């Protein structure tokens, strides 16, 4: 199967890293929803990243749905969704916070990079920043109460949180204070050193499967 999208997208990175962690092999094609819109549209008319082309030609979108399918392909011992209800609830809480923060950070990036400066709506931007910081507060608290794992045993929320933090540092470093989130910052730093993360660096490169 093939993963379509650029690794400067935290959602594409999330999928690539989780597929590797679960041992689900894939090919990566780095296409931009902006610069290579027409080429992307030939593979998926909706032009949404990440896109997964399954082996039978089925097109899937949305990182969470793609990984839900990937769980069915992974060996039971390598699946990343906890089966125990209490652990599942904690995992989903972390994932929901990380996805919310990611959504708000992407909105800030698009607002500054795509909208003319004279069209910026500062009250809306301030609200989005408040939502982003509230989600980061929640993640820091979650990691304080239940220290996250690294490598084997990582769940989807932990991967998304690590990827999110790296994206924030690269794209909106002036929106938050690193000192306010020491647990999240240190966890992301350690996660980014793992081979599954280094194989998918933020940017326009192509993921190469690491054995």
> Of the candidates 79, 108, 138, which is a domain's last residue?
79
Q: pTM for this one? A: 0.94
Answer yes or no: do 143 and 56 share one domain: no
Which pLDDT band holds residue 110 (cuts at 50, 70, 90)?
confident
Residue at 152 is within a domain: yes
Res 211 pLDDT > 70: no
The percent of residues in the chain predicted with pLDDT above 70, rounded, is: 98
For residue 76, how many C-alpha atoms fall within 13 Å in the half-sphere facing its CB? 1
Report the pLDDT averaged over residues 68-81.
97
Which pLDDT band holds residue 210 (cuts at 50, 70, 90)?
low
Which pLDDT band holds residue 98 (cuts at 50, 70, 90)?
very high
Q: List the CATH number of the domain containing 71.
A: 3.40.30.10
Range of the domain at 9: 2-79
Res 204 pLDDT > 70: yes
Which whole-number Å values give the CA distances from 190 to 182, 186, 196, in the listed order?
12, 6, 12
Report the pLDDT averaged over residues 113-121.
72
Residue at 21 is within a domain: yes
The percent of residues in the chain predicted with pLDDT above 90, rounded, is: 87
Answer yes or no: do 121 and 188 share one domain: yes
Answer yes or no: do 161 and 145 share one domain: yes
Tell me what pLDDT residue 11 has.
98
Answer yes or no: do 178 and 134 share one domain: yes
Residue at 200 is within a domain: no
Domain count, the chain: 2
Answer yes or no: do 69 and 89 share one domain: no
Residue at 92 is within a domain: yes
Could you tell me which residue, 41 or 123, shows the higher pLDDT? 41
Task: Give the residue from 80, 102, 101 showing the smallest Cα distance to 91.
Answer: 80
Q: Which residues of 111-143 are buried (b: 16+ CB within 10 A; e: fewer)?
A: beeeeeeeeeeeeeeeebbebbbebbebbbebb
Alpha helices by DSSP H, listed for the chain, are 10-22, 37-43, 63-73, 85-114, 122-145, 156-171, 182-192, 195-198
Res 181 pLDDT > 90: yes
> Of the candidates 47, 79, 111, which is a domain's last residue?
79
Residue at 199 is within a domain: no
CA–CA dist 4, 2 (Å, integer) = 6
Answer yes or no: do 75 and 96 share one domain: no
Tell me what pLDDT residue 121 has.
77
Answer yes or no: do 125 and 172 share one domain: yes
**pLDDT averaged over every residue in the chain:** 94
Res 127 pLDDT > 80: yes
């Amino acid at each position: 199967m093939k993963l379509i999208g650029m690794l400067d997208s935290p959602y594409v990175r999330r999928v690539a890293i989780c597929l590797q962690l679960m041992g689900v092999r894939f090919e990566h094609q780095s296409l931009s929803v902006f610069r290579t819109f027409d080429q992307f549209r030939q593979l998926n008319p909706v032009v949404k990243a990440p896109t997964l082309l399954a082996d039978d030609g089925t097109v899937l979108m949305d990182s969470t749905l793609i990984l839900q399918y990937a769980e069915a392909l992974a060996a039971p011992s390598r699946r990343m969704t906890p089966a125990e209800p209490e652990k599942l609830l904690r995992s989903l809480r972390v994932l929901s916070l990380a996805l919310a923060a990611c959504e708000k950070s992407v909105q800030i990036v698009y607002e500054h990079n795509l909208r003319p400066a004279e069209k910026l709506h500062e009250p809306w931007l301030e609200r989005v920043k408040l939502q982003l910081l509230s989600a980061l507060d929640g993640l820091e608290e979650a990691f304080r109460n239940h220290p996250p794992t690294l490598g084997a045993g990582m769940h989807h929320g932990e991967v998304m949180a690590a990827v999110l933090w790296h994206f924030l540092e690269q794209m909106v470093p002036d929106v938050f204070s690193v000192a306010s989130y020491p647990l999240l910052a240190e966890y992301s730093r350690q996660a980014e050193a793992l081979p599954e993360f280094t194989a998918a660096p933020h940017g326009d490169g192509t993921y190469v499967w690491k054995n």
